[in-house]
Amino acid sequence: MPNILISGVGGPTPRSIARSIKHSDIFGGSALFGTDVNPLAHGLYENQLYQDTCVVVHADAEDYWDFIENFVSSNKIIYALVHPEQEVLEWARFKKEGGHWPCKSLIPDYDLTKVLADKRSTTALLEDTEYVPNSYSFNTALLDIEELESRIAYPFWVRFPNGSSGVGSYKINKRSDLEHWLAINRTSENYIASTYLPGRNLAVKLLYYNGQLIRAASGERVNYIMAKLAPSGITGNTSFGRLLNEPKLVQCALDIMELLFARTNSNRHGFFTLDFKENAAGKPYLTEVNCRMVAFNYSFAMAGANFSEDIISLLSEDESFDRTYKMYEFDKDLIFLRDVDDTPILMKEKDLKQKNAVESNGTLKV
């Protein structure tokens, strides 16, 4: 069994990836090694998942690659699953500039990765298409509210252009909402406003390898963990979601990726999660593209779509692995429930418990 590095183990996504590997019939016996920049990261101490972990320097540190190369060499690591965005960017940049990774990994081309790391850049690259909502990037210190209002009608959505977890996101219904939001959001100068889309929150997962489309799957985010703590109700970590079979949505994602590959002159290579939001008529619009897996990856693996296993199979050049394109399909009505630290639950939506009511005579009504 190979030794595998998973970076950023303090977050829910790497934990989901690690559990997906342990869930694999092929690679379940692999030794996992973890890194994180935060010594308080919970994942650094999950001894049931990782054989060894260490605190790593930031990806932009001068000695980052010396550190990674030493850790990989000393632990005989063969494959790396890299997922914090800044590390994905650094691995992509390092390769573009002629560097040699100390182990195998699945990382998109740098020019594409750099665009996808900034929602403004992604939207700008596709603004002449039907795939993205009307959007407007602005600096909080220099914002001309009347200019913004002339570009996007109320209600609209504001959010931070980088990172995850719905940082700074909020629905703006009127000018006073915007003024109040501006008064409290000073942690970043730059934000993006987009037409508010009230429909489903969807995700498409796509796996490419050396120019070939290998796997795809789709799902829906319905509710979020600790949603009450975020003004928008969105924390970026799904608590209730649906596993979908929607080939039209997948085809929309494929069409978008073809444009992105072409417009950045990049190879069809890497794992991508495309997020969509539907308008009132049910038309999906792209909101962002993550060049990595996301936190409910393990829920998909439990349902038979184990992308972590697929990636390691490809990196290992396993000749028995079927590279014929497949869209993963799931049982109808299949949902997943997630909490912060626990294993996800897969079940049929029809089996969700309903609220009980008591009749006036004291009998229980279900």
At residue 366, the pLDDT reads: 42
- Is there a contact between 287 and 204 (Cβ–Cβ < 8 Å)? no
Q: Quick check: 133 pLDDT over 80?
A: yes
Domains delineated in the chain: 3-105 (3.40.50.20), 134-195 (3.30.1490.20), 201-351 (3.30.470.20)
Q: Quick check: 360 pLDDT over 80?
A: no
Residue 168: pLDDT band by 50, 70, 90 thresholds?
low
At residue 228, the pLDDT reads: 61
Give the whole-angstrom CA distance, residue 4 versus residue 33.
6
At residue 181, the pLDDT reads: 87
- Is there a contact between 35 and 54 (Cβ–Cβ < 8 Å)? yes
Q: Using one digit for the tens of pLDDT, what is the confidence trace for 68-124? A: 999 999 999 999 999 999 999 999 999 999 999 999 999 999 999 999 999 999 999
pTM listed for this prediction: 0.92
At residue 186, the pLDDT reads: 66
- Reference 232, options 127, 155, 333; nearest CA is 155
Which one has a higher pLDDT value, 185 or 81? 81
Start-to-end CA distance of the chain, whole Å, equals 51
Strand partners, 334: 348
Residue range 138-144: mean pLDDT, rounded: 84
Q: How many CA atoms lie within 13 A of 136 on its CB side?
A: 21
279: Cα separation from own chain's centroid: 21
At residue 365, the pLDDT reads: 46
At residue 233, the pLDDT reads: 62
Percent of the chain with pLDDT over 90: 77
Q: Quick check: 359 pLDDT over 60?
A: no
Which one has a higher pLDDT value, 180 or 267? 267
Q: Quick check: 267 pLDDT over 50?
A: yes
Residue 123 DSSP class: H
Residue 356 DSSP class: P
